[in-house]
Structure 1
Amino acid sequence: MAPGLVDLAVNVRRQPMPQWLAGPIQATLTELAAYPSDTAATAAVAARHGRDPAEVLLTAGAAQAFVLIAQTLRDARRPVVVHPQFTEPEAALRNAGHRVERVLLREADGFRLDPELVPADADLVFVGNPTNPTSVLHPAADVAALARPGRVLVVDEAFADTTYRAGVSGEPESLAARRDLPGLLVLRSLTKTWGLAGLRIGYALGPAELLARLATAQPLWAVATPALAAATACASPVAVAAERRIAAELAAERDHLVERLSGVPDVTVAGRPASAFVAVRLAGADQVRLELRKRGYAVRRGDTFPGLGADWLRIAVRDTATTDAFVATLTDVLKERQ
């Protein structure tokens, strides 16, 4: 992104790193002569989600897990990706030689998942929850309905830690702790809330035998020592409590963004946003995006996401002052185009 732009395109939180996270990462800089050991980090992640350590596979970012799945499950006969969706799962499948089918969710339904749209004989299914770029949070029951014997169900929960619901103590609609669903793989990322995109740390949760199979395609020492320290720290009770507070603050800021956007003529907010971004439809969005850039704002184009198109933009949630200034600029741009 060009310097000087207000970044509403990237979904990574950019607040100062807390000391409980920065300290352990910095401490590893004196230990880099030793090869990484993922034992402690794996145990910490497992404890957070109430799982056995054998049901956790640490990865160099959640994106690496997409590649491992695509490369390892080459015997999948009918892979299906539910769209609109993060584009990397489909790219990883195609790069591994899979023929991918798409299930397109409908704007008229608020981009909410309909399990009946997924072919019954699909044996490898990818779905995001909450979904990037629509920010829709699917009911856990609907996602769980996709699980069945003979199918690997991959649920990308990279943004699950950004979700919040009043009266719910944990992450609403998450399947991360579910051990009763056959073939369920839940992918998680530490990139978003804690601003660790450059460190590359994520993990997969699922049946031990399936994770062992994925691990065979993983390079030796795939996760670096500083990233392992981050995984351990972010699985701690202190981190989880902080994460919930941040998610609650984000929910208020998101509600403010949605309210302001809803007041802009000819702008439609997709579904019911539940994450750190919202998707909007407006005529000529591709040109509006370029004009916003000239005026200092970077937003994410929507035409690269199957099921959306050139009339869509994705806008990251920021503080209310930034939102107000952005919406005022967007309103001016749209008025000038009339």
Structure 2
Amino acid sequence: MTRARRLFPDVTVPWLDLSTGINPHSYPLPELPATAFSTLPETERLDELRRAAADFYDARSAELVVAAPGTQILLPQVMQLVAPGKAVVLSPTYAEHARTARLAGHCVTEASDFEMLTGADLAVVVNPNNPDGRVAPRPALLALADRLAVKGGLLIVDEAFMEVGPVAESVAGDAGHPGLVVLRSFGKFFGLAGLRLGFALAGREMVRRVSTRLGPWAVSGPALEIGIAALGDRTWQAAMRAQLESETAQLNALLARHGLDAIGGTLLYRFVRAANADEIFDALGRAGILVRNFEVQPDALRFGLPGGEAGFARLDAALAGLTGQ
């Protein structure tokens, strides 16, 4: 919330942060053994985490999975799997993908047309996309990976929000497909971003190379234990998806009452366009509610889930004060 306090220094009420795409309902932390903190992580527990991830993401084998302290750490490792060349990022999306590709030595282009990815040595697609929820179909992604693989290129598909997206379009189950690396974030759906846990799914040789670069004990003991528990808890997962569907419908209705129609997003955030987006952002900020605005899309806003009835009521009241409804 540092940015919020800097932008709106006169706000005295507790902040309601709707600027992230992180589940406001975190997975309940299990009781952890003392050894998770006092000893170095055991290789056997890392193997168990990889098996749990392979099962959760429908990968054919744990040998196709790399576990790391967040996908942010994985980005530069994966982008160095191909020699520096032409990188194309399907945009607008996260700024980190283009930034990291440049740091890896690639010449980066950001493109809004999927077809422009075919000319890349390294192509990046966020699926479903942040912030607008755009989805690239699985057949198109696999065909693109095939074209890139022929020339020694690579397609990175970041499925950070696929747990709350159209699972039929996921390519995680295709891990091992030539020219393909899939990134999956743990913290967003499970609401534990601070745990720092993420996965790359790829062919065995790419997994070996990335694992070697990460080195031993890359994932902390607590992250191993919590990850194993959460990835295997299908009861919690099913109940949470149902809850998120209900709360997303509630947020859609709230926004619509104030003339803001959600035109995209996922079950963790809604994407709207409004001619007065800057006015809305400022009014909500002065009410202690932070939403996500975009310098390159000045008419766009992203609203995360308020996380409970008190948050919904507060957002409703703030928008009513702006629209007079």
Q: Is this a same-fold pair by TM over 0.5?
A: yes
CA distance in 2, matches of 1:161, 1:141: 19
Partner in structure 2 of residue 247 of structure 1: 241
CA distance in 2, matches of 1:33, 1:269: 48
Partner in structure 1 of residue 213 of structure 2: 217
Alignment of 1:8 onto 2:7: no
Instruction: Identify which of 294, 298, 306 aligns with 1:310.
Output: 298
Find the residue that maps to 1:125 and give its secondary structure: strand
Instruction: Identify which of 95, 106, 110 aligns with 1:102.
Output: 110
Partner in structure 2 of residue 51 of structure 1: 60
Equivalent residue runs for 1:158-169 within 5 Å: 158-163=160-165
Find the residue that maps to 1:147 and give its secondary structure: helix
Partner in structure 2 of residue 112 of structure 1: none
Alignment of 1:126 onto 2:124: yes
After superposition, the Cα gap between the structure-2 partners of 1:141 and 1:245, relative to the gap in structure 1 and judged at 3 Å, is farther
Question: 1:159 offset after TM fit, Å?
Answer: 1.2
Alignment of 1:292 onto 2:284: yes
**Two-structure CA RMSD over aligned residues (Å):** 2.5
After superposition, the Cα gap between the structure-2 partners of 1:141 and 1:263, relative to the gap in structure 1 and judged at 3 Å, is farther
Question: 1:200 offset after TM fit, Å?
Answer: 0.7
Deviations 1:96-136 (A, max 9, x none): 3321111125xxxxxxxxx4242x23121111111111123
Count of aligned positions: 307
For structure 1, the 5+ residue unaligned runs are 106-114, 165-170
Deviations 1:38-87 (A, max 9, x none): 222122222332422221000111111112123x2351421111112122
Partner in structure 1 of residue 9 of structure 2: none
Alignment of 1:32 onto 2:25: no
CA distance in 1, matches of 2:183, 2:201: 6
The 8 Å contact of residues 256 and 320 in structure 1, kept in 2 or not, is answered as no
Deviations 1:159-192 (A, max 9, x none): 111236xxxxxx3422211146322211111101
Find the residue that maps to 1:131 and give its secondary structure: coil
The 8 Å contact of residues 155 and 185 in structure 1, kept in 2 or not, is answered as yes
Question: 1:35 offset after TM fit, Å?
Answer: 4.4
Partner in structure 1 of residue 92 of structure 2: 84
After superposition, the Cα gap between the structure-2 partners of 1:103 and 1:275, relative to the gap in structure 1 and judged at 3 Å, is farther
Find the residue that maps to 2:33 and give its secondary structure: helix
Output the amino acid matched with 2:64.
E
CA distance in 2, matches of 1:64, 1:30: 22
The 8 Å contact of residues 135 and 276 in structure 1, kept in 2 or not, is answered as no
Output the amino acid matched with 1:143.
L
Partner in structure 1 of residue 322 of structure 2: 333
Deviations 1:251-279 (A, max 9, x none): 222123223323433x45334x3331012
Partner in structure 2 of residue 278 of structure 1: 270
The 8 Å contact of residues 84 and 107 in structure 2, kept in 1 or not, is answered as no
CA distance in 2, matches of 1:199, 1:127: 25
Between stretches 57-66 and 171-180, larger displacement belongs to 171-180
After superposition, the Cα gap between the structure-2 partners of 1:82 and 1:312, relative to the gap in structure 1 and judged at 3 Å, is same
After superposition, the Cα gap between the structure-2 partners of 1:30 and 1:259, relative to the gap in structure 1 and judged at 3 Å, is closer
Q: Among the aligned pairs, what percent are the same residue? A: 29
Instruction: Identify which of 177, 195, 200 aligns with 1:199.
Output: 195
Equivalent residue runs for 1:165-176 within 5 Å: 171-176=167-172
Deviations 1:141-168 (A, max 9, x none): 333332212331111111111236xxxx
Find the residue that maps to 1:217 and give its secondary structure: helix
Output the amino acid matched with 2:186.
L
For structure 2, the 5+ residue unaligned runs are 6-12
TM-score by length of 2: 0.84
TM-score by length of 1: 0.81
Find the residue that maps to 1:100 and give its secondary structure: strand
